Amino acid sequence: MAITTIPHRRDVIKDIKNRGGLVAAVLPIHYSRALLRAFDIFPIELWGPPKVDVSLGGAHLQSYVCSIVHNALSFLKMGELNVASLILIPHTCDSLQGLTSVLMDMIKPEQTIFPLYLPRGQREEDVVFLVDELQALYAHFSDFTGKYPTNEELLTAIKREELSDLLLLKLHKNRQQMGLSNIDFYRLVRSREYLSAEHFAALAENALQVTGETAGGIPVILSGILPEPMKMLDVISKMKGQVVADDLACCGRRLYQPGTSREPFRRMAERIIYAPPDPTRGNSIAERAEYLIEMARNSGAKGIIFYEVKFCEPELFDLPNLRNCLKEQGLASINIEVDINNLLPHQIATRIGAFLEMLDS
């Protein structure tokens, strides 16, 4: 499949605007795309784009706040979010909570800020709370747009996203048969961050029809928040590694299953709450370890690269235990911390190379 068929984020935004649609800039990690789309709002995700003037964010945030948050704020201050009518910030971690509050209380950008609190458990009360929270968001969006989508319209939007997510899941499962390089695969699946469900589904269906030579290489799992700078994926390829599955917040942790409830808000809530384990949603270390071990078993991965954003507490706390559990199962792992603004330092490439070599031997 020619990766050039994936439209650029800017062109997608231009297209939405030309059609009179509203753009929402959405920060990591979990939210309901369907809820936005039911209001004709198109989510474009903002995962702290690299190559921004970080001093702009630095005027409001201390240096010990992660680069995702720094970059998101810098991007906003550069005026790059002027195309967005609103900013949705799911409550992912203390740092994004802080950013939301600074935006709402101090910076007050032109766009309306909508926070979404995600509960930290998977209990019935967490589902009920998230249902209420999504309903409150519905009310805010109604005030904002003057629209009142019906339950049927909500369900249509949900099913559209579910279809797209099923195709995303299939892409993840078939990745080794599609003949895509590491970087091309992630360009494709990450386009879900800004393409509409319909557009992404078409792209995914096309991609799934193409079969290529099974990508060889030393099979590894990638865990962490996101694969940035993306060049890191090329480094893995060059060092003869192949990412066969992932536990990345922007990808594998968002392989949401279709819901079952006929009540739209409950269905949206359940999809998020029962998604693959994620420390930011409060899954236990045991659940995460079990999930990773299973993932390694199914994908044939020999090891795991924990590719972490510096200062990311949700990730850092689980690491020692996770790595021990993996070790007990004979799975090697490595921990690499990055600031997404830095070009991939030589040292990181060397460490990845040494890790892959070790797995190979």
Which of other proteins, ligand SF4, none lies near 90, with the C-beta cut-off 5 to 8 A by kind?
Answer: none
Residue of 92, 358, 101 whose CA lies nearest to 226: 92
The answer to whether 356 and 336 are in contact (CB under 8 A) is no
- Of 50 and 264, the one with the shorter C-beta distance to ligand SF4 is 50
| Residue 205 binding target from ligand SF4, other proteins, none, CB below 5 to 8 Å by type | none
Q: What angle in degrees, to the nearest 10, is found between the helix axes of 151-174 and 264-273?
A: 30
Binding flag, residue 222, ligand SF4 (CB under 6 A): no
Verify binding: residue 107, other proteins, rule CB under 8 A. Answer: yes
Least distance between ligand SF4 and beta carbon 169 (Å): 23
Q: CB under 5 to 8 A by kind: which of ligand SF4, other proteins, none does 270 bind?
A: none
Q: Which amino acid is at 202?
A: A
Q: What is the CA radius of gyration of the chain?
A: 20
92 binds ligand SF4 (CB under 6 A): yes
Backbone angles phi, psi at 40, to 5 degrees: 60, 35
Burial of 71 (0-12, 13-18, 19+ CB in 10 A): buried
Q: How many residues make contact with ligand SF4 (CB under 6 A)?
A: 13
DSSP letter, residue 104: I
Instruction: For residue 7, state whether it binds other proteins (rule: CB under 8 A).
Output: no
Give least dist CB 190 to other proteins, A: 26
- Does residue number 351 form part of the binding site for other proteins (CB under 8 A)? no
Contact 208/167 with Cβ under 8 angstroms? yes
Could you tell me which of 179, 162, 177, 213 has the C-alpha nearest to residue 3? Answer: 179
User: How many Å apart are CA 25 and CA 263, to the nearest integer?
Assistant: 27
Q: Which does 323 bind (CB under 5 to 8 A by kind): ligand SF4, other proteins, none?
A: other proteins
Give the interface segment with other proteins, choosing from 6-14, 180-188, 222-230, 308-316 (CB under 8 A): 308-316
d(Cα 191, Cα 199) in Å, to the nearest integer? Answer: 10
134 binds ligand SF4 (CB under 6 A): no
User: The tokens 């989510």 sit on which residue?
Assistant: 43
Q: How far is CA 346 from CA 172, 196, 218, 357, in A?
A: 29, 37, 21, 16
Contact map string, positions 182 to 221, toward other proteins, x by CB under 8 A: ----------------------------------------
Would you tell me which residues interact with ligand SF4 (CB under 6 A)? 28, 66, 68-69, 92-93, 95-96, 225, 280, 309, 312, 314
Would you tell me which residues interact with other proteins (CB under 8 A)? 59-62, 64-65, 91, 93-95, 97-102, 104-107, 115, 117, 119-121, 123, 125-126, 128-129, 132-133, 136, 279-280, 282, 284-286, 310-311, 313-314, 316-321, 323, 335, 337
